[in-house]
Amino acid sequence: MKHARMLAPLALAAALVAPALSGAVSPADAAAKRSSQAAAPGRPAKSGRAATYRQFTGTIVALDASSLTVEKGGKTPKQMVFARHAAMRSTGDVEKDARVTVYWREEAGQPVAHRVVVKTATAEGTR
């Protein structure tokens, strides 16, 4: 009887340790590996989809031929500097103090603007 009580935990421990010793990968390890591969820079996405764009809305505080600086106000103000993509599209006049939404993605560790939408001024009292 005492041997049976001692044998059950040993069998359980052996069942848990055996996959680790044989080189099997747990589901959690596999998921972590997939996410790290997907986030690896310079690697194309495995699916056939194009990379998605992020959005940043604010006011242009500075711009030149190669970059665009946009500032978002509010409780937690944030400023982002975007490099201009060679084929960047824009709607409206991209000029200082214009309210814009920048569609961007990170390329080589730097945010790159692919499309800029200029927000038109609205009548007072309306959004």
Per run of 10 residues, the mean pLDDT along the chain (length 127 residues) is 71 72 63 56 50 92 94 94 94 92 94 94 63
Query: In the prediction, which pLDDT does 61 show?
Result: 96
Per-residue pLDDT at 107? 93
Q: How many helices (H) and strands (E) does the chain have?
A: 2, 5
25-29: list long-range contacts, CB under 8 Å, 24+ apart: none
Q: Which amino acid is at 40?
A: A
∠ CA 8-12-14, nearest 5°, is 115
Q: pLDDT value at position 45?
A: 46
Verdict on whether the full-model pTM lies above 0.75: no
**Which residues in 5-98 belong to E strands, given as ranges?**
54-63, 67-72, 78-91
pLDDT at position 9: 77
